[in-house]
Amino acid sequence: MQIHQLKPNHKLKDRKIVGRGGKKGTYSGKGIKGQSSRSGRKMVPIIRELIKRYPKLKGYRSFVLEDNGVVINLDILDKNTKDGEVINSETLVKKGLVRMVKGKMPEIKILGKGKLTKKLSFEGFSFSKSAKEAIEKAGGTIKSI
């Protein structure tokens, strides 16, 4: 069987022709004279003026960059790390504390909530002022890239 030999299972209904007299009356359910009864009519939408104005509005083509920042507190790091451990973004992903965002490493910021009792060395993060003080007080080190 070829594709041009295929036929539908049911026959198509013939379109009902109205406006030629008969029992439906002169207008045949199509209304009286006017724009909507003319052939080839085009009804202009009321919202058209608003649509035309959109490209001229402030911020029409602007976009907002997503904030891919992740925040981690010191108490979470204290629970999930060992003493003397080197912490970078890869180790946080392996421990399950941080997720990759669309296949990219997010920007991580360390905040000073909670206590830090272990000596940890940090690589490649941004820190709050209180977090820096707490890390240095516990004997940890901070390396910036």
Per-residue pLDDT of 62-73, as tens digits, reads: 666 667 788 999
In which residue are the tokens 């003493």 written?
83
Rounded to 10 degrees, the C-alpha dihedral 123/128/130/136 comes to: 20
Q: Where are the domains of the chain?
A: 69-143
With bands split at pLDDT 50, 70 and 90, how would you rate the model's confidence at 2? Answer: very high
Q: pLDDT tens-digit profile of 91-142?
A: 999 999 998 888 888 888 999 898 888 888 999 888 899 999 998 888 888 8
Which of residues 87 and 47 earns the better pLDDT score? 87
pLDDT of residue 36: 73
Mean pLDDT, to the nearest integer, of 48-71?
A: 71
Which of 70, 75, 88, 87 lies closest to 131, judged by CA? 75
Give the tens place of pLDDT for each residue, 19-37.
666 665 566 666 777 777 7
Q: Give the C-alpha separation, 84 to 29, whole Å.
A: 86
> Which of 35, 114, 13, 105 lies closest to 73, judged by CA?
114
Candidates 130, 135, 49, 36; CA nearest to 85 is 135
Can you name the CATH fold of 69-143? Answer: Ribosomal Protein L15; Chain: K; domain 2 (3.100.10)
Q: What is the pTM of this model?
A: 0.53
